[in-house]
């Protein structure tokens, strides 16, 4: 039986997911491709661009430290929405890759506020036995809207790639509305306020105190490096090696890449409710290891293998999305949910400032295929370590 608070939260969470997903389709499937095709960005500029999101994650602990000193996160979420809208408004005056890169980073930075705040809301308003299921349904809504806007964005950009300016302005507006809706979800005021602390010292203190969380984050870090090594490689591989159009890339990344997430997230969310994150993540990482294998094959078999790679990717991401977003709640104590998620996000930022550079160097000196092999090895290593942690009672 759902409580009134749970019902209201779910309604607003689904509305947030609708607008958030609408803002994500073009951004996540085509933003590096726009930089390459419409603005002539170099491989190094593409690498810096894909490091923009990790930079936002790296700032997450700083933002969350400030948020933890307040009883409500609402002002931070409203500010995040305003920054997102302002950043994308600037796209009308973009004429160089560097201008584009600066505005995209400005748009991404508020995610360091939005994600930890979302975790706090979900931890407080959803009971443990339903949290994964409700988040899974919301994830399906997010990715369903992302699929629609990815198709629409790809089609429009194939007509005229310079239309990226009004398209991204619309993206910023939708993203801002999503942030405002999240801020409107009623949540109990925090009972315990924290003093400002050095974010780095706080991370090491929590890792030292909570060994299980440290083991989880260590293994997740290895997986994340495997994932992020591919971030500068894939758009260049698709554009330069395979000659794919906007429509073909948006179909692969924005349609096939999210279909599995749309269909299976409610089920993977329920699975997450019944299993600890070590076993869950270990199995998902093993499945995702097939993704770089299929990309490798795509270099010889062509676009069809790339489409197959994204079907596998979407099946794995149905699980990854759940564990990435709410796995940290498994370890967190009351009132520390946002702090634990901010640490998880900050670790994403750390690896995001390292792994793409390794991917760029592997691609530059040895070619695309070396990066694919390296990614596969890291995925399998992370999977093995997660399963080992489960067997040794790390959970």
DSSP 77-132: HHHHHHHHHHHHHGGGG--SHHHHHHHHHHHHTTHHHHHHHHHHHHHHHS-HHHHH
First to last CA, the chain: 29
Q: Output the six-digit token pair for 247.
A: 């429509």
Residue 177 near residue 5, CB atoms below 8 Å:
no
pLDDT score at 192 = 55
What pLDDT, on a 0 to 100 scale, did the predictor assign at position 8? 86
- 32, 50 Cβ separation under 8 angstroms: yes
Q: Check residue 98 and give its pLDDT.
A: 94
Q: Which two tokens stand for residue 156?
A: 């429009």
Angle at 287 between CA 329 and CA 271, to 5 degrees: 40
Domains of the chain are 4-186+199-391 (1.20.1250.20)
DSSP state of 185: S
Q: Determine how many CB atoms are found less than 10 A away from the CB of residue 187.
A: 18
- CB count within 10 Å of CB 113 equals 27
Q: What is the pLDDT of residue 395?
A: 45
| Six-digit token string for 178 | 């999503």
Does residue 356 contact residue 200 with C-beta atoms inside 8 Å?
no
Measured at the alpha carbon of residue 231, what is the angle toward residues 118 and 317, in degrees to the nearest 5? 50
Q: Rounded to whole angstroms, how far apart are CA atoms 220 and 340?
A: 14
What number of other Cβ atoms are within 10 A of residue 247's Cβ? Answer: 17
| Angle 259-226-310 from CA coordinates, rounded to 5° | 20
Residue with tokens 């994830």: 139
Please give the Cα distance from 215 to 227 (Å, whole number).
Answer: 19
b/e burial code for range 296-332 (CB count within 10 A of at least 16 → b): bbbbeeebebbbbbbebbbbbbbbbbbbbbbbbbbbb
pTM of the predicted model, to two decimals? Answer: 0.76
Q: How many CB atoms within 10 Å of residue 334?
A: 10
CA angle 13, 17, 19 (to 5 degrees): 120
Question: Cα separation of 143 and 254, whole Å?
Answer: 9
Per-residue pLDDT of the chain (395 residues; tens, 9 = 90+): 677 777 888 899 899 999 998 888 777 777 888 888 889 988 889 888 888 877 777 777 777 777 767 667 788 889 989 999 999 999 999 999 999 999 998 998 888 788 778 777 777 777 767 777 777 788 788 888 888 888 888 889 888 989 999 999 999 999 999 999 988 888 766 555 556 566 677 778 888 888 888 888 899 999 999 999 998 999 999 988 999 998 898 889 888 888 887 777 777 666 666 667 888 888 889 999 999 999 999 989 889 999 999 999 988 888 887 777 777 777 767 666 667 777 877 888 888 888 999 999 999 899 999 999 999 999 999 999 988 887 875 44
Backbone CA torsion sign across 296, 299, 300, 303: positive
Spatial separation of the C-alpha atoms in residues 13 and 17, rounded to whole Å: 6
């Amino acid at each position: 039986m759902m409580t009134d608070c749970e019902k209201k939260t779910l309604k607003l969470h689904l509305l947030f997911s609708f607008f958030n997903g609408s803002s994500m389709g073009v951004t996540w499937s085509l933003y590096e491709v726009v930089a390459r095709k419409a603005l002539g960005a170099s491989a190094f500029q593409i690498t810096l661009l894909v490091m923009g999101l990790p930079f936002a994650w790296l700032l997450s602990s700083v933002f969350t430290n400030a948020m933890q000193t307040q009883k409500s996160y609402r002002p931070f979420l409203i500010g995040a929405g305003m920054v997102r809208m302002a950043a994308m408004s600037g796209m009308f005056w973009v004429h160089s890759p560097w201008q584009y890169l600066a505005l995209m980073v400005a748009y991404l930075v508020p995610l360091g506020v939005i994600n930890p705040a979302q975790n706090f809301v979900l931890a407080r308003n959803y009971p443990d036995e339903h949290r994964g299921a409700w988040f899974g349904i919301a994830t399906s809504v997010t990715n369903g809207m992302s699929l629609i806007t990815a198709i629409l964005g790809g089609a429009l950009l194939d007509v005229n790639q310079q239309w990226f300016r009004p398209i991204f302005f619309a993206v910023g507006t939708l993203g801002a509305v999503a942030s405002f809706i999240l801020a409107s979800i009623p949540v109990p005021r925090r009972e315990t306020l924290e003093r400002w602390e050095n974010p780095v010292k706080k991370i090491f203190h929590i890792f030292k105190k909570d060994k299980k969380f440290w083991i989880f984050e260590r293994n997740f870090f290895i997986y994340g490096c495997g994932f992020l090594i591919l971030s500068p490689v894939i758009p260049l591989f698709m554009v330069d090696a395979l000659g794919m159009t906007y429509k073909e890339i948006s179909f692969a990344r924005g349609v096939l890449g999210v279909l599995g997430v749309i269909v299976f997230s409610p089920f993977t969310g329920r699975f997450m409710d019944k299993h600890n994150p070590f076993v869950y993540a270990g199995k998902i990482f093993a499945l995702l290891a097939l993704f770089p294998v299929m990309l490798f094959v795509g270099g010889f078999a062509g676009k069809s293998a790339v489409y197959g790679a994204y079907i596998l990717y979407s099946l794995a991401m149905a699980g990854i999305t759940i564990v990435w977003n709410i796995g940290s709640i498994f370890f967190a104590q009351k009132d520390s949910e946002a702090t634990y998620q901010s640490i998880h996000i900050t670790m994403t930022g750390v690896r995001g400032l390292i792994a793409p550079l390794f991917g760029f160097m592997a691609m530059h000196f040895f070619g695309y295929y070396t990066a694919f092999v390296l990614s596969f090895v890291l995925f399998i290593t992370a999977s093995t370590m997660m399963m080992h942690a489960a067997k040794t009672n790390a959970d």
